[in-house]
């Protein structure tokens, strides 16, 4: 499993993106933040609610310097078929990565081997390609994409603010902390 501070592996895979199927290499996105949304499978019940929410918030992720990508063990052709037939998924404009060999899910530690699908997991990757946040849970529980966006904002703040950290439920404009000192104030 890729934990905090670990560099993501060199990954090249097919993706459905911008009405086309093409190869994507994650290292091409170095210098940007990445938000990877692992999910079990296309044509399911919880997954379209999450990916639709991510699609509706994508511009906010981009404003934070991040690219959103989803990943399942389906092929890029299945992603396209889902995109073409689902009202919720038709809103997705970010790359939908294919992992039919299950190598990506296995390297991130999201694979459920006996089912051949991924657990529901979210990874925030910094511009250097290192994991700064991740969460994983049972596939029956949907994510809060707005909370992932909040974590991205906090991760960016900490990276860009010398020695400051973010307290619980921190949002931009709220008080921050400096270890060893009291509340610093709004920044």
Query: Taking 60 as the threshold, does the pLDDT of residue 33 lie above it?
Result: yes
pLDDT band of residue 173 (cuts 50, 70, 90) is confident
131 within 8 A of 6, measured Cβ to Cβ: yes
pTM value? 0.93
The CATH number that domain 12-143 falls under is: 3.40.30.10
Q: Give the number of residues written for the chain.
A: 187
What pLDDT, on a 0 to 100 scale, did the predictor assign at position 175? 85
Note the pLDDT tens digit of each residue in 49-93.
999 999 999 999 999 999 999 999 999 999 999 999 999 999 999
Cα dist. 117→31, 145, 173 in Å?
30, 21, 39
Note the pLDDT tens digit of each residue in 92-114.
999 999 999 999 999 999 999 99
What pLDDT, on a 0 to 100 scale, did the predictor assign at position 179? 82
Catalytic positions are 47
């Amino acid at each position: 499993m890729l934990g905090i501070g670990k560099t993501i592996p060199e990954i090249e895979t097919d993706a459905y993106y911008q009405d086309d199927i093409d190869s994507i290499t994650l290292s091409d996105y170095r210098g940007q933040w990445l938000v990877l949304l692992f999910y079990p499978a296309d044509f399911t019940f919880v997954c379209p609610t999450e990916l639709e929410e991510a699609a509706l918030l994508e511009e906010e992720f981009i404003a934070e310097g991040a690219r959103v990508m989803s990943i399942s063990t389906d092929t890029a052709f299945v992603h396209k078929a889902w995109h073409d037939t689902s009202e919720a998924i038709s809103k997705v404009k970010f790359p939908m990565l294919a992992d039919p060999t299950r190598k990506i899910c296995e390297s991130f530690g999201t694979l459920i081997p006996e089912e051949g699908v991924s657990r529901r997991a979210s990874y925030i990757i910094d511009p250097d390609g290192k994991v700064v946040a991740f969460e994983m849970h049972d596939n029956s529980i949907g994510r809060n994409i707005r909370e992932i966006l909040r974590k991205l904002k906090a991760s960016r703040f900490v990276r860009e603010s010398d020695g400051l950290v973010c307290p619980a439920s921190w949002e931009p404009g709220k008080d921050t902390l400096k270890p060893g000192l009291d509340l610093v104030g709004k920044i």
